[in-house]
Amino acid sequence: MSNTRNFTHNSNFFFGTNLFGEEATYNTQVVNLPGLSFSHINLSRQSSLLNMQGDTITYNDLTVEIIVDEELKVWKDIVGSLLKMREGESGLGENLEKSAFLEIHDDNAKKILKLEFENCMIESIDDLSYNTNSDDEIITVSVTIKYDFYRIIY
């Protein structure tokens, strides 16, 4: 299951994961580069309260809007795989380390950034929305993912 060679969409963001069973790569319409925040420690010194940076990093969630094909194959594959895992009908994902990557290309298809996410889990899959008021609207499904940390590869 992969839609990386869909020439009808102009997308330079690619999302790959094994969260939905087998490893697959998807074209995306919208993606966030997750931010992070640091813990801090309050210190009291000579009747003043000072802040010192702590050593704990909290990573924001990753949200990707995956482009859905006309036959809804991408949506059916994602949701169907997750429902099978939930119902125990398949061994998908059992004893499998869940990971994901996000790759961004420039207009010349040159890779400019790759992030690898470790120990991923699905937070939510949003509704698939249709709108008859627009002729050329690209349909996407938004997936929010929690993870332990990410690395910048290039």
Q: Is residue 139 part of a domain?
A: yes
pTM of the model as a whole:
0.77
**Residue closest to 91 by CA, chosen among 81, 105, 99:** 81
For the chain, the domain total comes to: 1
**What are the distances in angstroms from CA 118 to CA 59, 82, 91?**
12, 19, 21
Q: Is residue 147 part of a domain?
A: yes
Mean pLDDT of all residues belonging to the chain: 83
| CATH classification at residue 71 | 2.30.110
Number of helical (H) and strand (E) elements in the chain, helices listed first: 1, 10
DSSP sequence for 110-141: -EEEEEEEES-EEEEEPPP---TT-SSPPPEE
**How confident is the model over 49-78, as a mean pLDDT?**
90
Q: Is residue 38 part of a domain?
A: yes
Residue 6's pLDDT is 47
Q: Is residue 20 part of a domain?
A: yes
pLDDT band of 8, cuts 50, 70, 90:
very low
pLDDT band of 100, cuts 50, 70, 90:
very high
Which DSSP letter does residue 60 get? Answer: P
Q: Is residue 123 part of a domain?
A: yes
pLDDT band of 55, cuts 50, 70, 90:
confident
Q: Is residue 117 part of a domain?
A: yes
Q: Is residue 137 part of a domain?
A: yes
Q: Is residue 3 part of a domain?
A: no
Residue ranges making up the domain that contains 145: 13-152
